[in-house]
Amino acid sequence: MSTTPLITADLVALDLEAADRDEATRALVDLLHAQGRVTDPDGFLADVRAREAQMATGMPGGIGLPHARSVHVTVPSLAVATVPAGVDFGAPDGPATLIFLIAAPAEGDGDHLTILAALARRIVRESFRTSLLEAPDAATVAEIITREVVLP
């Protein structure tokens, strides 16, 4: 199994300001690109938009969950942003303040997909979301996720 962690502090943007979901997603894609986890930011962003167009990924609890499986992704990755002002992700109960961008390679291997599955399950839990929103810094956010979402 790969030793690359799903998320590091470099992939967390606290108190992001974004006018809309595209801008917020773009900011997170740039973080992934800077870390070499996405080879072509524009191509990956297009894949995420295509997925978003099928069905909005906003969900109750102020969550935006843009995601895609894409050939432009080298390592399964997660980038997280908190957006105190909120940005609309199409959820029925209002704008998202916590945004997860999931980047999965087109040919994902089982372990990583299982980790992403575990992450998706955690996101549904309010205690998990609260702990991320209340985290003091980027390193803590990365640490909480890494601790909660691991293979046994």
Partner 1 sequence: MKFVGVSSCPTGIAHTYMAAEALEQAALAAGHEMHVETQGAAGSVALDPQLIAEADAVVFAADLEVKDRERFAGKPIVDVGVKKAVHDPTAVIAAAVEAAEAEVARVAAGGAAAAPVAAPATKVSANAGTGARIRQWLMTGVSYMIPFVAAGGILIALSFMIGGYEIVDTDIVTDVIEGFSITSSLSWGALLFHVGAATFAFLVPVLAGFIAYAIADRPGLAPGFVGGALALVVGAGFLGGLAAGFIGGFIALWISRWKVPKGVRGVMPVVVTPLIATFLTGLAMLVVVGPPLKAVSDGLTSWLGGLSGSNLILLGVLLGLMMAFDMGGPVNKVAYAFAATGLTAAGTAALAGAPEFRIMAAVMAAGMTPPLGLALATAVRGALFTEAERENGKAAWLLGASFITEGAIPFAAADPLRVIPSLMLGSGITGGIVMAFGSGLRAPHGGVWVTPLISQPFGFIVAVIVGTVITALAVILVKGLRRPPATDAVVAGQEDRSAVTA
Nearer to partner 1, 123 or 138 (CB): 123
Report the alpha-carbon distance of residue 140 to residue 131 in Å, rounded.
10
* Catalytic site includes residue 67: yes
Q: How far is the CB of 56 from partner 1 (least distance, A)?
A: 9
Report the alpha-carbon distance of residue 150 to residue 133 in Å, rounded.
20
Rule CB under 8 A: say whether 2 interacts with partner 1.
no
Q: Which of 126, 144, 147 is nearest to 135 (CA)?
A: 144
Residue 83's Cα: distance from chain center in Å? 13
Nearer to partner 1, 116 or 144 (CB): 116
Strands 77-87 and 63-64: unpaired
Pick from 67, 83, 99, 145 the residue near partner 1 by CB under 8 A: 67
Report the alpha-carbon distance of residue 46 to residue 74 in Å, rounded.
16
Give DSSP secondary structure letters for 39-100: S-HHHHHHHHHHHHHHS---BTTTEE--EEEETTBSS-EEEEEEEEEEE--S-TT--EEEEE
Nearer to partner 1, 17 or 51 (CB): 51
Residues within window 92-151 making contact with partner 1, judged by CB under 8 A: 92, 102, 104, 108, 110, 113-114, 116-125, 151
How many other CB atoms are there within 10 angstroms of residue 121's CB atom? Answer: 12
Pick from 43, 59, 86, 146 the residue near partner 1 by CB under 8 A: 59
Q: How far is the CB of 79 from partner 1 (least distance, A)?
A: 14
Binding site for partner 1 (CB under 8 A): 51, 54-55, 57, 59-60, 65, 67-69, 91-92, 102, 104, 108, 110, 113-114, 116-125, 151-152
The residues that are catalytic are 67
